[in-house]
Amino acid sequence: MTGWSILDPLVSIAIVAVILIGTWGLLKDSVNLALDAAPPSVDVAAVKAAFLALPGVSAVHDLHVWGLSTTETALTAHLSTTGPTAPCFWPRLRSSPAAASHIGHTTLQLESGALPDCPDC
Ligand SMILES: [Zn+2]
Ligand SMILES: [Zn+2]
């Protein structure tokens, strides 16, 4: 049947289009992962502002937020601190945007000031 030979490629294209639309979100997340980009649910500027608002924190640098998978997020940062911060620090951090945006793995380096070998990124 000649009708099918024309219809066949059209059906194939339609199926590919449906699959592409269906996986677009996942695809985009995967590309973000590959590019080491912060997940769209995380406002990095807000996280930095929240760190700066913590008592005793004077500066934040080397702040990185990235996806470990499409559902898990990690954060590392250097915090320049003045005075003893630990007692009041952790409760405040738990209610910060970092926690609100489900960043499950956080590594913080506390410094009395940026060290000579601190990366500027
Ligand atoms: Zn860095
Ligand atoms: Zn540092």
Residue 1 has pLDDT above 60, yes or no: no
Report pLDDT digits (tens) over 73-112: 888 999 998 876 655 666 666 676 666 667 888 888 888 8
**Do the Cβ atoms of 89 and 55 come closer than 8 Å?**
yes
In the reported structure, the alpha carbon of residue 111 is separated from the centroid of ligand 2 by a whole-number distance in angstroms of 7
**Do the Cβ atoms of 60 and 66 come closer than 8 Å?**
no
Closest by alpha carbon to 89, among 58, 63, 55, 113?
Answer: 55
Predicted TM-score (pTM) of this structure: 0.64
What is d(CA 30, CA 119) in angstroms, rounded to the nearest whole number? Answer: 27
Report pLDDT digits (tens) over 23-73: 888 878 777 776 667 888 788 888 898 888 888 889 999 999 988 888 888
Q: Which amino acid is present at 87?
A: P
In the reported structure, the alpha carbon of residue 71 is separated from the centroid of ligand 2 by a whole-number distance in angstroms of 28
